[in-house]
Amino acid sequence: MTAPTLQHVKRLRQLPALSVVALRRYLSSLADPSKPLLPFIPKTVKIILLLLIIINSPSLPFQWHIRVWRYPLKAYFDLFTKGRDKFLGECEQRSLRHGGITERTRLKRIAWFDDCDYNLHLSNSCYAKNVDAARMKWAIDVILPAFRPGIHMALGATHYVFVKEIPLGSEYVMETRAGGWDEKWIYLVTEYIIYPKKAARGKGKRPIKPDPTPAGPSVPTLVGPSSTGDSTPEANGSSTPTTTMEAVRKAASLRSRMPREDGGIVCCLAVAEYCFKQGRVTVPPRIVLHLGMVSPNQSDRELARDRVLNSKDQGAKWVRGGWREEPDAMEIGASIGDEINGGDDKSFTSGWVEKSREGMEQVNAGLSVF
């Protein structure tokens, strides 16, 4: 290999200056509207790239974060501008107007190109991606004051039942409600609903009545041969219905396909198990709901508001374990949900809260086999 000549050395020294000159020429060409932005890319390719960006714009970076976190950010803004007393008072009044724990929050979306698969239907993965915003909206709209002591929600599991496809371009509604709770988990039920064109005209005119048993997915009761068509003959000539997995799935599918009172069709049912945490400490849902001021009892709401407002730590120490020191600790928040099915009759409460707990235990027991 020969040694570099003097001419080679001069060219190497000129490289930084030549690079700066080339960059200045390119930047000056950008300021000239008569010259193309990227002259080395054909115009057809530019148009295709622009169209791809437009149709996938809902999935651009940070779009998911904006959709999910706009609800708590707005709540923080309202708290800062209105003050804590006025803000909590408005939260309490809103809870009374919308039914407290029975409230159903609704969030609309369109099945756009970025969310659909090659069959031009909403992709299964996008059911999970888009429901995050719906659950966040439920948490902020229903139990917002409960988050003041530093509580957050942790997702334990989600179960989906896909009933009907959501076609490309269809508008669907994610309706979220509380399905029940136990001493650790709260179950949020989300229905993905589409409205056929014939029913869309009357949509919203007929109010949705509260579901008397808004529990999680439960096994349907098969009470006779007419339910499934399957029966086992006995010695005396009568027949006993047999419950098979196929019969259960068929009954659940038929139930889900029935139109709602507002004309909507349920395309998917999602049940999520959440627990409430303050740091590493798990807080029972009834304690969180109590602080969320969703109790129908006015004295309970005033007590919860006093715990959040009049303590220096906004109730953080009480949530972490101070509630256990009270004589009636097991009664705190235990009556929430009674009003949905008959007031003081506890048998109705067990038909909602307890049924949801038993239903989720059956789901988890089935999954543990695998």
Q: What distances in angstroms separate CA 42 from CA 29, 37, 39, 48, one per listed residue?
A: 17, 11, 7, 10
Residue 258 lies in a domain: yes
Q: Is the pLDDT of residue 32 over 80?
A: no
Residue 121 three-state SS: strand
For residue 228, list its beta bridge partners.
none
pLDDT, position 4:
57
Q: Is the pLDDT of residue 266 over 80?
A: yes
Mind listing the pLDDT tens digit for each residue in 271-301? 999 999 999 999 999 999 999 998 888 888 8
Q: Which residues contact 355 (CB under 8 A, 6 or more apart)?
A: 180, 213, 215, 218
Residue 129 lies in a domain: yes
Q: Is the pLDDT of residue 208 over 70?
A: no
| Of residues 261 and 109, more confidently modeled | 109
Only one residue has tokens 């219905």, namely 241
Percent of the chain with pLDDT over 90: 37
Residue 37 lies in a domain: no
| Of residues 359 and 303, more confidently modeled | 303
Residue 215 three-state SS: coil
Only one residue has tokens 């509207």, namely 33
| Of residues 319 and 358, more confidently modeled | 319
Name the token pair of 139: 């948490």
Amino acid at 236: N
**Consecutive H or E run containing 152:** strand 152-162
Residue 317 lies in a domain: yes
Name the token pair of 115: 């969310």
Mind listing the pLDDT tens digit for each residue in 320-354? 989 999 888 888 888 887 765 544 444 444 556 77
Residue 203: exposure state from Cβ atoms within 10 A (0-12, 13-18, ≥19): middle
CA angle 307, 147, 153 (to 5 degrees): 135
Residue 350 lies in a domain: yes
Residue 354 lies in a domain: yes
- Domain of residue 210: give its range: 58-228+240-368
The pTM (predicted TM-score) of the whole model is: 0.75
| Of residues 79 and 310, more confidently modeled | 79
Mind listing the pLDDT tens digit for each residue in 125-151? 999 999 999 999 999 999 999 998 899
Residue 246 lies in a domain: yes
Q: What is the CA radius of gyration of the chain?
A: 29
Confidence tier at 229 by pLDDT (50, 70, 90): very low
Residue 138 lies in a domain: yes
pLDDT, position 201:
47
CA distance 291 to 301: 8
Q: What distances in angstroms separate CA 196 from CA 162, 205, 270, 326, one per listed residue?
A: 18, 15, 21, 53
pLDDT, position 124:
94
Query: How many residues are there in the chain?
Result: 370
CATH of the domain at 262: 3.10.129.10
CA angle 180, 308, 323 (to 5 degrees): 60
Indicate the number of domains in the chain.
1
Q: What distances in angstroms separate CA 127 from CA 112, 119, 297, one per listed residue?
A: 13, 15, 36
Residue 174 three-state SS: strand
Average pLDDT over residues 97-115: 92
CA angle 102, 106, 108 (to 5 degrees): 170
